[in-house]
Amino acid sequence: MKLRNYVEGRWVEGAGSGVPLLHAVTGDVVAHATSEGLDFRAMLDHARRVGGPALRRMTFHQRARMLKAMAMHLNARKDEFYALSSATGATRADSWIDIDGGIGTFFVYASKGRREFPDEAFYIDGPVEPISKGGTFIGRHICVPLEGVAVFINAFNFPVWGMMEKLAPALLAGVPAIVKPATLTSYLTEQVFRAMVESAIFPEGAIQLICGSAGDLLDHLGEQDSVAFTGSAATGRSLRTRPSIVAGAVRFNMEADSLNCAILGPDAAPGTEEFDLFLKEVVREMTAKAGQKCTAIRRTIVPDAMMGDVIEALRSRLSVVKVGNPAVEGVKMGPLAGASQVREVGASLDALRGGGEVVFGGEAVEPIGVDPGTGAFFPITLLASQRPHEQLQPHEVEAFGPVNTVMPYSSVDDAIGLARLGRGSLCGSLFTNDDRVARDIVLGVAPYHGRLYVLNRSGAKESTGHGSPLPHLVHGGPGRAGGGEEMGGLRGVLHYMQRTAVQGTPTTIARITNEWVPGAAQPTDRIHPFRKHFEELQIGETLTTHRRTVTETDIVNFAAISGDHFYAHVDDIAAKASIFGRRVAHGYFVLSAAAGLFVDPAPGPVLANYGLENLRFTKPVHAGDTIQVRLTCKSRTAKETPPDGIPQGVVAWDVNVTNQDNELVATYTILTLVRRMAGEGVPEMAS
């Protein structure tokens, strides 16, 4: 069977017979891949002309709902993907990381997209920057989707997750993508991609697929395009220096090989829970996906006094790991993805032998459930380096398979130094129940790591594993690991957007961003804002209330009602000696009294008080002071209506409480749930 490419909205067969892709266990041909004859420039044009505009017409919330729908669609078809995944040599647990991991990433981005992004097509990044004395000229950052194509070039080890962890943030940002999986396992990517296309959930042009060589695709990239590359450092380096990439300053994110480490804390001696957790993790990282994980532990750094115990314990645990055909019950580790990987890992192991002695494995393996001589199997191999500062191979050579080197450290500083010899890693882990050690090591190695995983007995049950990148957290690493960063929730979405600093008057900035900012126009209306539906409220619309004089009785009554008899409110002598100089009203009384001033009490479109943010008491309020409130509609976000629910949205109100001298005494934002007149859909802003 020849895999097809998805080009300009059609399935297209490449020319020629293609590269045969072999089953990792049986060696049978699974498919052929060829992208010969494809018009790569036309693919880019299609994404820019058709996919980009369609995605940019949607808001973040609409795109997030699209991701959720796709995640549900793929979830329902998971069994097909698992069946084919076994051809890559994956066990069921390995496939779970790839397939469920990929679908899970869509779910997380779908949820974050609705909770952390506005229901707009652009994103406001950070607060107002007050750059003028009088406040008439300000700055604010906005992020808008790039108008080009996101090109994804992936490694062979995660044919599904590798595609989906890149697609989720790009599509949420509003940028179309061209996916180019590693040819070796592209048949699985193609199967999942086919399911996506069949669903018709993404708009036309949002995604395209290349199974085979990327041809001259990268030569046609321009200023608005980006590349996210995962693979070996050598390939990454050659691609990122291509003339088109350099000339167009094309964003190039690189995730490359990495010599990740696990450190056993000095307190985590044999017999402690941390020692066992450490062994479990090292064994899991060596054997999951047969060690073909970019985050797998390659260097195991342990206190010198524990070297013998660690090696013994690892040998005994590794010796019971069943290697063989993943289809056979009880098999915990399958083959590598192909024969060329066996050769590459073998060559890397030869290089590593110069830096340590093999203490487990290293010789031919006899896999269970396979004919002798077939399958891309590699022995689980543990090396020990006694002189890790002189034998530098473990810090330099990545064997992309079930291979790991144990090495001793003499002090916490020494452990930090060894970890840093990796010159930049995706992930490092530390097993300690001593939080001082945790702090020293984390701060010592953080500049060299994209993620740090600190484990002790208290978090073990719910911990997520050294080797699992999570959509919420950044994935990537400095230096040798490529210098890139993916995912990390919202951060990953912003990689596909242009951050633009906009300067102007507060009113102009408020109109552009649809969010009121201090200093912007504050029109008033005869109708109280609490009598208005969501759609009727205007950004900036302001209510200035009547006044109220705070009395001694208010303070005494509030102390009694709340039970808050703090000396500054009720003890005249102590209050005189306090920073206030005399008794002061409770801050929460001021809040409550402010609500009493601005609410319109009768039933109406306001459904509930939803919360309060950024509260500051800026000046004390004493008995005899007269307060007044200015309530300004700051922003509005439509919410999805639950089945049988009331259509509604969240309105954020800026609240300023001032005293008789017009001095600010309290400022905060309140959130209310306000009924919408319309059903679904996001209302347009009144101009």
Instruction: Between 199 and 235, name the residue whose CB sits nearer to ligand NAP.
Output: 235
Instruction: Between 154 and 385, name the residue whose CB sits nearer to ligand NAP.
Output: 154
Report how far residue 673's alpha carbon sits from residue 77's, in angstroms, rounded to the nearest whole number: 38
Binding residues for ligand NAP, total number by CB under 6 A: 25
Q: Is 230 in the site for ligand NAP (CB under 6 A)?
A: yes
Active site residue 535: no
Which of these segments, 57-65, 251-259, 349-357, 430-438, binds ligand NAP (CB under 6 A)?
251-259
Tell me the closest approach of the beta carbon of residue 422 to ligand NAP, in angstroms.
Answer: 12
Question: Which residue of 105, 154, 287, 672 would you call a contact of ligand NAP, by CB under 6 A?
Answer: 154
Ranges within 422-481 binding ligand NAP (CB under 6 A): 426
Tell me the closest approach of the beta carbon of residue 35 to ligand NAP, in angstroms.
Answer: 9
Instruction: Between 63 and 475, name the residue whose CB sits nearer to ligand NAP.
Output: 475
Question: Which residue of 156, 187, 202, 653 would you call a contact of ligand NAP, by CB under 6 A?
Answer: 156
Q: Spot the catalytic one: 255, 274, 281, 344.
A: 255
Phi-psi region of 662 (alpha: psi -120 to 50; beta: other; left: phi over 0): left
Cα distances (angstroms) measured from residue 39 to each of 18, 208, 242, 335: 17, 12, 19, 36
Helix, strand, or coil (residue 138): strand
Which of these segments, 56-64, 229-237, 499-507, 522-530, binds ligand NAP (CB under 6 A)?
229-237
- How far, in whole angstroms, is CA 8 from its chain's centroid? 29
Q: List the end-to-end C-alpha distance of the chain, in Å, as a whole number.
A: 57
Question: Which residue of 214, 269, 321, 521 would you call a contact of ligand NAP, by CB under 6 A?
Answer: 214
Instruction: Between 158 and 516, name the residue whose CB sits nearer to ligand NAP.
Output: 158
Helix, strand, or coil (residue 552): helix
Q: Is 256 in the site for ligand NAP (CB under 6 A)?
A: yes
What is the phi/psi pair of residue 573, to 5°? Answer: -70, -50
Q: Is 165 in the site for ligand NAP (CB under 6 A)?
A: no
Taking the CA atoms of the chain, what radius of gyration do you get in angstroms? Answer: 30
Which of these segments, 155-163, 437-445, 563-571, 592-600, binds ligand NAP (CB under 6 A)?
155-163
| One-letter amino acid for residue 548 of the chain | R
Tell me the closest approach of the beta carbon of residue 153 to ligand NAP, in angstroms.
Answer: 5
Question: Which residue of 100, 119, 255, 654 would you call a contact of ligand NAP, by CB under 6 A?
Answer: 255
Q: Is 257 in the site for ligand NAP (CB under 6 A)?
A: yes
Structure tokens that stand for 230 in this block: 């995962």
What is the phi/psi pair of residue 599, to 5°? Answer: -75, 155
| Residue sitting closest to ligand NAP (CB) | 231
Q: Is 239 in the site for ligand NAP (CB under 6 A)?
A: yes
Active site residue 633: no
Instruction: Between 214 and 328, name the residue whose CB sits nearer to ligand NAP.
Output: 214
Answer yes or no: are the C-beta atoms of 167 and 197 closer than 8 Å.
no
Answer yes or no: are the C-beta atoms of 676 and 605 closer than 8 Å.
no
Ranges within 273-332 binding ligand NAP (CB under 6 A): 294
Report how far residue 318's alpha carbon sits from residue 322's, in angstroms, rounded to the nearest whole number: 9
Q: Spot the catalytic one: 261, 294, 427, 633.
A: 294
Secondary structure of 225-273 in the HEC alphabet? Answer: CEEEEECCHHHHHHHHCCHHHHHCCCEEEEECCCCEEEEECCCCCCCCH
Answer yes or no: are the C-beta atoms of 195 and 73 closer than 8 Å.
yes
Tell me the closest approach of the beta carbon of residue 167 to ligand NAP, in angstroms.
Answer: 15
Tell me the closest approach of the beta carbon of residue 325 to ligand NAP, in angstroms.
Answer: 23
Report how far residue 423's alpha carbon sits from residue 449's, in angstroms, rounded to the nearest whole number: 9
Strand 664-675, strand 251-255: pairing: unpaired
Kindly report the length of the chain. Answer: 687
Tell me the closest approach of the beta carbon of residue 154 to ligand NAP, in angstroms.
Answer: 5
Question: Which residue of 26, 213, 224, 244 would you call a contact of ligand NAP, by CB under 6 A?
Answer: 213
Residues 6+ apart with CB under 8 A from 131: 137, 138, 139, 503
Answer yes or no: are the C-beta atoms of 38 and 12 closer than 8 Å.
yes
Q: Quick one: DSSP state of residue 27?
A: -
Q: Is 352 in the site for ligand NAP (CB under 6 A)?
A: no
Report how far residue 406's alpha carbon sits from residue 311's, in angstroms, rounded to the nearest whole number: 8
Tell me the closest approach of the beta carbon of residue 262 to ligand NAP, in angstroms.
Answer: 17
Q: Quick one: DSSP state of residue 47?
A: I
| One-letter amino acid for residue 274 of the chain | E
Question: Which residue of 157, 191, 405, 635 would you call a contact of ligand NAP, by CB under 6 A?
Answer: 157
Tell me the closest approach of the beta carbon of residue 486 to ligand NAP, in angstroms.
Answer: 8
* Residue spans of beta strands (DSSP E) within 506-592: 542-549
Ranges within 173-192 binding ligand NAP (CB under 6 A): 180, 182-184
Q: Is 120 in the site for ligand NAP (CB under 6 A)?
A: no
Instruction: Between 69 and 214, name the residue whose CB sits nearer to ligand NAP.
Output: 214
Ranges within 614-643 binding ligand NAP (CB under 6 A): none
Tell me the closest approach of the beta carbon of residue 6 to ligand NAP, in angstroms.
Answer: 16
Q: Is 513 in the site for ligand NAP (CB under 6 A)?
A: no
Report how far residue 81's alpha carbon sits from residue 102's, in angstroms, rounded to the nearest whole number: 12
- Active-site positions read 255, 294
> Which residues of this protein are in contact with ligand NAP, per CB under 6 A?
153-157, 180, 182-184, 213-214, 230-232, 235, 239, 255-258, 294, 398, 400, 426, 482
